[in-house]
Amino acid sequence: MVVITQEAALVMPNDSESLVAAEEAELEAEEGSRALKLIGWFSVGMAVAALTVYLGVELRSRSKFKKRTPYDFYANAGEAQASEFGVGI
C-alpha cells in the first residue's frame, strides 16, 4: 500500500490544464524554431549552389582564356558564319 504524504501532494500539482498549456506553448516555439532552421538551411544551400555555379563559370572562362592560340586574335578566327546572312537578298 502506498501512502502519499501531504508534502508529496504539494509537490505534484493537480491542475493538468496548466501543464498542457505549457507543453503546447513549448511545442509551438519548437515548431517556429524548426521552420526557421529549415529556411536557414535552405538559404545556405542556395548560396552554396550559386557560389558553385559562379566559380564554375569563372574557372571555365579562365581555362578557355589560357588555351588561346595566335589565330584567336584575328577577326575571323571564330566559328564560320554564313556570308549571305544580313545581305538583304
In the prediction, which pLDDT does 42 show? 97
In the prediction, which pLDDT does 80 show? 61
Range of the domain at 41: 36-67
In a domain, 62, yes or no: yes
In a domain, 87, yes or no: no
Greater model confidence, 18 or 32: 32
In a domain, 80, yes or no: no
In a domain, 13, yes or no: no
Mean pLDDT confidence for 29-48: 90
In a domain, 56, yes or no: yes
Greater model confidence, 25 or 15: 25
* Predicted TM-score (pTM) of this structure: 0.49
DSSP the chain: -----HHHHHHS-S-HHHHHHHHHHHHHHHHHHHHHHHHHHHHHHHHHHHHHHHHHHHHHHHHHHHT--GGGGSGGGS----TTTTS--
In a domain, 46, yes or no: yes
